[in-house]
Structures are given as C-alpha cells and as structure tokens.
A and B are shown apart, each in its own frame.
Chain A
Amino acid sequence: MTEELKVAVDRRGTSGAILYTKGYINNVGGEEIASRAYELMEGDVRSLLLNLRETKIVNSIGISILIEIIEKMIDKGGRIGFCCLTPVIHKTFQIMGLANYASIFTDEDQAVKEMGLAS
C-alpha cells in the first residue's frame, strides 16, 4: 500500500468541487488536501466533497487538518462533505467530532445530489 497521499480534483460548476484522496491522511497528506482545498476556496468553491474511497488510514494530525479545513469553509459560509468512508474512518470521524460540522454520505451519488454539486 502507498504511503504518499495523492489528491485529484474534479471541479463541479463554479462553486463546487470533489477531492479524491488516495493513501494515508497524515500530516503530509493532510497538508496536501488543505492546500488543494484552500486553493478551491480562494476560487469561490463553497461546496467541497472529499471522496475517501481509496483512503484506509487517517491519523490524529490528519484529522486536525481536516477540522481546520472544515472551520475555514464554515467561516466562508460554505459546506464540506465526506463520502465513501471505510467503517473504521467513519467511526473515527464520529468520535473526533468531524461529523458534527461536516456531512457524511455513504456514496458519491448521494453526496452530489444532497450537496447540489453539478455533474
């Protein structure tokens, strides 16, 4: 399994985007996600979905960074969603409080529909 996190961006309309992550969300991986997310926020993206289908591990530093991204998006009046989480990551997000400030969806279709992300 790969250690390095890879991020792919799919812009959805003018104010939406999906970030696809592959690999470990740790400090390095979290910063990579943050950098892409902040870039998108600067570009007026206010609905950001993170598809974690190919991420099996997230550590506490990665979670801190995800919380910062969520807070920044809330400050900008936007919304963050997560989808395709492994059961372990889903539970981790619930325990660590991410689920209180971000939406968690089972699959991408549901997330796209509920977050109003254009296809």
Chain B
Amino acid sequence: MHPFADFIHEMQQLERSPLASQGSLILDAFTRHTRFDNGALYLRDARGSELRLAAKSQQCVAPEILHGDAQSALQPSPKVVVPLQSNREAVGVLALAREGEDVDDDDVAFVRAGAAFLSTLITNQRLLQETREGDFQLKYRLWELESLYDIGLSIASTLNVDELADEILFRMISLTNARRAALFLRDASTGGFTLYRSFGDIPADFLEQELSEGKPLTFENGTVVAVPIKGSNDAVIGVLAAAERETREGGIGAFEENELRLLALFANQVAIALENARLHRQALEKQAMERELELAATIQRDILPKAIPQMEGIEIAALSRPARQVGGDYHAFFIRDGVLTALVADVAGKSMPAALLVSALHAVIQLLFAEGREIGEIATELNRHIHRWSAENKFITMIMVSIDPEAETIQFVNAGHNPAYMITNGRIDTMKSHGLPIGILPQTRYLAQTRPFPAGSCAVLYSDGITEAEDVAGEEFENARLEALLQEHVDCNASLVRDQIADAVDAFVGEAPQKDDQTLVVVRRA
C-alpha cells in the first residue's frame, strides 16, 4: 500500500474515538510515515481558544500552552510547522523536526496533506460532538418540560402530599444534577422548619437565614441552594434545598441560573400541592362538622315540641327560629292536674356545645316534671344538676310559668332570663328575674312567685333573640317595641299576638342576618 494510503487508513482507525485524546498516536503516525523523528501536536480545546499540548516526542521540549510562534517555542526547532485548519477555524498546530539530516519536499508535502486530512477529521468530530450535544440539550429541555407537566398532572390527580413530595424531590434532583436534596416545611406550632423529605443529608441550620424575605439563597460557594416555598398569603411555608450539583467533568459545581429557575418552579409546584392538600383537608373537616351539626339539629328538632298541647280554656302559640343549624334556645310545655306549665330557656353559647346542654336540660326537666315537683323545686334541682355536670362557663337562663285556670293564678320562676310579660285586664306587667341563671352556683334556691291570672290574661315568654334582633344598621328591636306591640294587641288571641310580634321583628330586621335564636311562647286564658 502507498505510504500515504497507509497513513490515512491509520487515521481512519483512530476516528472512532475522540482524536483529542489520541494525540500521541497521531504524532507517532506522522513520525513513522515520514522522515521526521520528533515533534509536538497542539490542539485547540473545543470550548477554549488556547492551543494545548496534545502530544510531544520524548526529545522535544514544548510548552503546555502554545503562545505565538511554534518555530521559536519548541526545541529542537521544527523543520515544518503546519496549522491544522478547517474552513471554520484553526483547530491545532503540528510541528515536526528531524535531528541531524534534512528532510525533502516529499516529506513536507506528505505532512501538509496528512495535516489537511487530520484537520477535516477533527473538525468533523467536533461538529458531530456539537450536534450530539445540541440534540442532548434539546432532549434535556423536553425532559424538563415534561417533568413539570407530569408534576402538574400528579398534583391534579392526587392529594397525597407524601407521594407528591417524593416525586417532586426525585425529579428535582434528576434535572438539577444535585447529589442531595431536602424538603423542609414550617411547623405551625414552633414556627421553625422541620425536615419533611430528604435525599442525603442537608443541614437545616441555614434555613432561618433571611429566607423570610422569600428569595432563593445560595451557600458554600453556590453548591447549596435553598428556595423558599410561598403559601397563598405569600408567607414562607417551606424550603426546597439542593446541594452538590454534579458537573460533566466529574466534580461538584455551583448551581447555575437555569437550575435556580428550575428549583423555583419546583418550589411553586410544592406550594400548589400543599395548598391543594390544605384546602382538601379543610373541606373534609367542614363536611364532617356540617354532618355533626346536621345530626345535632335533628336531635334538637326532636327535643322541641312537635305540636302545641291542647288544653281547654287556654290558647297557646309558639315560635322557634334557630339562628344556626343548632341553637341554644329551648321551650317546652307540660300539663299536669289541669295546670299548664310553659318554659323558655336560653343556653349560653351556640352550635354543638349549646345543643348538648339543651339535651341535658331537656332530659332533667322531663324527669323532674314526671316526679310531680312544683316549679320552684324543679328550678332548684335543675340548677344543682347542671352545675354539677356541666362545664364551668355553661349556664342557662330560664323563665318557667304555671297557669292554673281553676285557681286563676300564674306562678313563675325567672332564673336570669329576660323579663316575661303578663297582660292582665289590659295592663302590661313583667315577670322579672329573681334568681341567678341555672348552673352558676350550686346552692341557689328558686322560689316560685304567684300572681292572679284571670280569664283574658296573657303571658308572653321570649328569648333575647327577639328583643336583641338587629337591623342592617345594628340597632336592636328592644323591649319598647315589643311592649308597644303587646299594648296594641291586648285583646288578641295567642296566635295573632305571636304572628304580630314575628312580623314586626322581620320587618324591623329587613335584610340583616339573624344572629341569635328566636323563641316566643304566648299563652292566653280564653
């Protein structure tokens, strides 16, 4: 084979691996196929502009980086210096020498032709490398976008924060080439950050530093980065941290701008996942609470009288409007030995705690009436029971009246309740409180008071939800309006009195929301 063809064949064999790493083999091929016996090969780094020594013969003294003229930089001085030049750029320099004797033109021509072939090979290899690198980068960007898209889908399809946290952490590590990463969440009780998920160890001691400002922070020459996770109110609810970004050269480097941007995007995804989970948790809690309230409301509806009792010579009308699903107002009627007893009570508080106390009140009252006790004694026993079995801040205001048509009397016990009204012979009088509310002190005794209650008399019992009903401006209905209404309707039947009061309260309140339970009981002797 012709020596040059032989040389080309050798070069083609080298082509399969990066030529830059095969400097000594290239130099060896030139010295074997020509009469040159030493020299040096410089190649320009694909990323840099310096000509770096790729290979040299043993007897050649050559600097690591070639600045300026190779002729004067190398020892022995080269006989031929050939730039390795592609149509785009200079890719290197080949310098060859021969000790002792001269070389002829054929050798120089061989070297020039070989160098031209080598230049093309190196350029082609670099172009191929650049194309592959570009292709890899494009795919990497696609991977990045697909990952963010997939996380979005995961967030939409699951509310399991544990699973999402793992997925986000793993994807973040993959895409930033980090060796370690961690997700810290703020502990609502201590205000500090606690480790939620991690891959490798990341110290938490840096987390309190300026993260409240909500900006990404870098530590240890940029090799550790912490990105705040902001909640819906812009407060920092967690931190996503990554450390030790790997470089392609095999070392550890600082995180770059695009990686910080990517980390910030992942932090946003975590924020969305946490917010979704929080809202879902809240919705579940609300549903559970609504179910409880609905159940309690059902129980309370069963407690309140389903129908007005019928008693000869007595008209009874009642109204009950709970402000929420479960209220604190209670009313009841008892008929025993020709005597009607009506009571209206208001339990302190609202919702479930109030409903539970109303249930207790209902049970005890039923038992005490069944025992045949008179109303003063019933109130005294009820007070003892409620005080013993209820929480300290629980109490009940209560007005209880017993109307005896035969004796033409009304007995009442008012335990801290609003004054009830009694209309007798066209005159309005009040049945004011004469004792503490039920459940305040254990030894309180209640004595019933007795008044005449001739035919045509009317008793009006109500809860403060009637007199304290507010209009849109916050003004209360007040007792004066109630008394004026009663004055206008002294001779009306019980149902009409009830309806007039209810309509007047509604008209007064207008569009304002009902803030408290409203209970009204009207009892009239025919």
Contacts and interface: CB of A to CB of B under 8 A. Distances in A.
Interface stretch (B173-181, B226-234, B403-411, B422-430): B173-181
A28 B250 CA distance: 8
Given A3-B179, A64-B136, A91-B150, A56 B248 contact: no
Interface stretch (B139-147, B300-308, B435-443): B139-147
Contact of A1 (B143, B178, B199, B247): B199
Contacts of B180: 3
A61 B16 CA distance: 22
A75 to B, nearest CB: 7
A118 interface: no
Contacts of B171: 88
Contacts of A95: 139, 142-143, 146
A36 B176 CA distance: 26
Nearest to B181: A57
Contacts, number: 61
A26 interface: yes
A106 interface: no
A59 B143 contact: no
Interface residues of B, number: 26
B167 interface: yes
A26 B139 contact: no
Given A3-B199, A88-B167, A57 B142 contact: no
A85 to B, nearest CB: 13
Interface in B131-188: 135-136, 139-140, 142-143, 146, 150, 167, 170-171, 173-180
B200 interface: yes
B250 A27 contact: yes
B246 interface: yes
Contacts of B16: 75
Contacts of A60: 136, 140, 143, 174-175, 177
Given A59-B173, A59-B176, 10 more contacts: A1-B199, A24-B179, A31-B250, A59-B174, A59-B175, A60-B174, A61-B246, A75-B16, A92-B174, A96-B140
Interface of B: 16, 135-136, 139-140, 142-143, 146, 150, 167, 170-171, 173-180, 199-200, 246-248, 250
Interface of A: 1, 3, 24, 26-28, 31, 56-61, 64, 75, 88, 91-92, 95-97
6 contacts: A3-B180, A27-B177, A27-B246, A59-B246, A60-B140, A96-B136
Which 4 A-B pairs rank lowest in CB-CB distance, beginning with the nearest? A27-B246, A3-B200, A59-B177, A95-B143
